[in-house]
Structure formats: C-alpha cells, structure tokens
C-alpha cells in the first residue's frame, strides 16, 4: 500500500513540475543564464541516464550486453537512422549478444 | 511527424510496461505511472530505483528532479502557445521531450500549436496503450532482458540525447556527466548519481557562460 502512496506522490510532483513552467512570469525567462543552464541540465541528465542504464547493476558497475547495445545504437545514429530503428537496433544487439554468450 | 514520433516511442512504452512489472510494480501501478506521471525518463528512473533496492523517497526525488526538464519545456511552450484555463492544465500534462521538440522545430505559430498538441496527444495515447501491452507481456515473459529490452532503453536514451550533441562543448559535458554517474554509482544510493550529474551540469552551464562573456 505504501508503494501506491509513492507512485501517486511522484505523479503529483511531476505534474507540478510541468505546470510550474506555465506559471512562471515571462520576465524571469529573459535572463540568459536560465536558457543556458536548462540546456546543459538536459544534456547532463540524459547522458547520466545513458550511463546509468548501460553500466548499473545492484549498485555496482558492470560491462555486459548493454554496452554492445549502446555502441550499435551510436552507429545507427551516425547513419541517421530514425528513432524507432535505433531502439530496435539496441534491443536486437543486446538480445543477440546474450543469445550468443 | 507527431504520429511517427508517437509510434517510435511505443516500443519504449512496451519496455516500460514490461520492466515496471518486472521491477515489482502491479499492473495498475504501472498504468498509473504512464497515465498520471507521463514522462518517460522519470518513469524509468522511478521503477529503476525501486528495482535496484532504492527507497520510495529516492524514487520520488529522482523522478521529480528529472522532470525539471519539463518545467523548462513548459516555460518555452508558454512563450510559444500561452494556453489558458483548462487547456493550460491539459497542456501541462502532455509537456514532454517529444511534444516540446516537435513544437520548437516548427517555424510558424499554427504549425507550432498543431505540432505540440498533435505530438503530445498521439504520444499520450500510444504510450499508455504500449505500457499496458508491455505490462501484460511482461507477466508472460519471465526475462525481458532476453528480448534485449534493457538494450532498447539504453538506445532510446542515447537517441534522445543525440540531437543535442551539436558542439564540442555539449559532447564534453555529456561525457563528463556519464563519467560522474558511472564513478559515483558504487558509492551513492540508487538515483543519486543522476542527481550528481545534474549538479555538474548546472555548474557547467553557469561557468561556461562566464567563460564566454
């Protein structure tokens, strides 16, 4: 039951973060540091998510099939593959490496 | 464009549904996260932290912090569309990476409006449908990793990051953030390494601005 409370609290908190942006006075947005920091924050957060999802396992760092998926996805992106193809390449590579290993 | 993006994130939604149930969430908790929380990275962070033994508070903190991005999108959408009343409440719910990206890529106001609502609503419907499908399939499939679903998540996050890596500066920050995350993973509680990377990114944003002026 307490898991439900965390789920609903997270739903409310995330909705609040979205709504907050629509309530900010426009004058605040003119400050150049705001745009710069938000762009950097997005890159930092997404890169952190890539790293976490590639290497994490029970609070240790492991190298496994997910690193192969990352490399294959990067190649697909370099070849300008659409998003759905990149995701499929990542899944197929991880599954393929596991099937072989 | 909105539809193709929505179709593209569907597989990602299927992975979320499958991984969420694998992480010990019930079907309805999984559905609630997609229908009410509706922000991919935050949802994955929430279940990821619980799956790796983190507390509910850590999961809540990380998913909320990750949604800080959406606050910035909302600010930008306010500047472009300025929705009022109920429309503002609805717009807030569908303010995510994809809808904001489509709106921002359009030139004229009509296309921006159409892009935001089209992509946002399509993503909402597809994402929730895919989540249910994944959650039900996940119950059947004992091992989502055999299907490479974790590889799909890695690829999807890289796919979201990729278009933002346009300069040497952004590449350097991405590598640094990834390094900070990986190095702090064995040291910090689950979810906190992402926050550590966020702090590094904020400092980077403030200091690199200083370097340029």
Per cent of chain B over pLDDT 90 is 39
Are B115 and B145 part of one and the same domain? yes
- pLDDT of A38 higher than 80: no
**Which residues on adjacent β-strands are paired with residue A57?**
A60
Are B129 and B194 part of one and the same domain? no
- pLDDT of B206 higher than 50: yes
Closest residue on chain B to A96 (Cα): B148
Are B62 and B19 part of one and the same domain? yes
- pLDDT of A73 higher than 90: yes
Residue B213, pLDDT score: 39
Are B117 and B40 part of one and the same domain? yes
Of B66, B71, B201, the CB nearest to A18: B71
Least confident of A69-83, B45-59, B159-173: B45-59
Nearest CA to B83 among B47, B48, B117?
A: B117
Alpha-carbon torsion (B25, B54, A97, B148), positive or negative:
positive
Cβ-based contacts of B198 with chain A (< 8 Å): 41, 44-45, 48
Residue B12, pLDDT score: 76
Higher pLDDT, residue B52 or B77: B77
Nearest CA to B64 among A25, A19, A39, A26?
A: A19
Are B174 and B208 part of one and the same domain? yes
Closest residue on chain B to A84 (Cα): B8
- Look at A50 and B150 and tell me if their CB atoms are within 8 Å: no
Task: State pLDDT tens for residues B164-198.
Answer: 898 999 999 999 999 999 999 999 876 678 778 88
Q: pTM of whole model > 0.90? A: no
- pLDDT of B141 higher than 70: no
- pLDDT of B144 higher than 80: no
Domain-terminating residue out of B146, B164, B182: B164
| Containing structural domain, residue B63 | 2-164
Domain-terminating residue out of B138, B164, B190: B164
Judge contact between B86 and B104, C-beta under 8 A: no
The count of domains in chain B is 2
Length of chain A: 101
- Look at A43 and B201 and tell me if their CB atoms are within 8 Å: yes
Average pLDDT of chain B, as a whole number: 86
Higher pLDDT, residue A89 or B19: A89
CA distance A77 to chain B (A): 7
- pLDDT of B114 higher than 80: yes
CA-to-CA separations, B106 to A62, A87, B41, in angstroms, rounded: 41, 25, 24
CA distance B128 to chain A (A): 15
What's the rounded mean pLDDT across residues B134-163?
Answer: 79
- pLDDT of A14 higher than 80: yes
Residue B139, pLDDT score: 62
Average pLDDT of chain A, as a whole number: 89
Residue B6, pLDDT score: 79
Are B26 and B52 part of one and the same domain? yes
Residue B191, pLDDT score: 65
CA-to-CA separations, B162 to A53, A78, A86, B15, B33, in angstroms, rounded: 16, 9, 11, 20, 26
Tokens of B116: 């935001």
Confirm or reject contact between A91 and chain B (CB < 8 A): yes
Are B88 and B36 part of one and the same domain? yes
Are B85 and B177 part of one and the same domain? no
Are B138 and B202 part of one and the same domain? no
Tokens of A95: 């599954």
Residue B101, pLDDT score: 78
Confirm or reject contact between A15 and chain B (CB < 8 A): yes
Are B99 and B200 part of one and the same domain? no
Are B41 and B85 part of one and the same domain? yes
Using a 10 angstrom Cβ sphere, with 0-12 exposed, 13-18 middle and 19 or more buried, the burial of residue A63 is exposed
Confirm or reject contact between A58 and chain B (CB < 8 A): yes
Are B195 and B121 part of one and the same domain? no
**What is the distance between the alpha carbons of residues B175 and B34, in angstroms, rounded to a whole number?**
30
Residue B143, pLDDT score: 64
- Look at A65 and B4 and tell me if their CB atoms are within 8 Å: no
């Amino acid at each position: 039951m307490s898991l439900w409370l965390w789920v609903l609290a997270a739903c409310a908190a995330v909705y609040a973060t979205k709504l907050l942006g629509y309530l900010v006075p426009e004058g605040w947005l003119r400050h150049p540091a705001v745009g710069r920091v938000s762009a950097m924050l997005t890159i930092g957060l997404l890169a952190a998510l890539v790293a976490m999802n590639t290497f994490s396992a029970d609070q240790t760092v492991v190298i496994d099939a997910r690193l192969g998926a990352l490399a294959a996805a990067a190649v697909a992106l370099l070849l300008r593959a659409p998003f759905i193809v990149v995701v499929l390449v990542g899944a197929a590579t991880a599954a393929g490496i596991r099937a072989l290993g | 464009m909105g539809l193709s993006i929505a179709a593209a994130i569907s597989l990602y939604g299927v992975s979320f549904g499958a991984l969420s149930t694998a992480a010990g969430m019930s079907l309805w908790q999984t559905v609630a996260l997609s229908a009410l929380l509706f922000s991919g990275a935050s949802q994955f962070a929430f279940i990821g932290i619980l799956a790796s033994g983190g507390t509910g508070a850590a999961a809540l903190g990380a998913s909320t912090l990750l949604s800080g991005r959406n606050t910035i999108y909302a600010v930008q959408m306010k500047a472009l569309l300025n929705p009022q009343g109920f429309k503002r409440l609805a717009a807030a719910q569908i303010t995510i990476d994809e809808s904001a990206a489509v709106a921002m890529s359009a030139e004229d106001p009509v296309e921006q409006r159409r892009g935001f609502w089209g992509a946002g609503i399509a993503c909402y419907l597809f994402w929730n449908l895919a989540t249910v499908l994944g959650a039900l399939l996940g119950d059947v499939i004992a091992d989502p990793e055999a299907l490479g679903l974790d590889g799909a998540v890695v690829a999807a996050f890289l796919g979201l990051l990729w278009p933002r890596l346009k300069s040497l500066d952004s590449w350097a920050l991405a590598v640094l953030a990834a390094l900070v995350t990986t190095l702090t993973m064995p040291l910090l509680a689950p979810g906190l390494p992402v926050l550590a990377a966020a702090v590094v990114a904020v400092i980077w944003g403030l200091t690199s601005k200083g370097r340029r002026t």
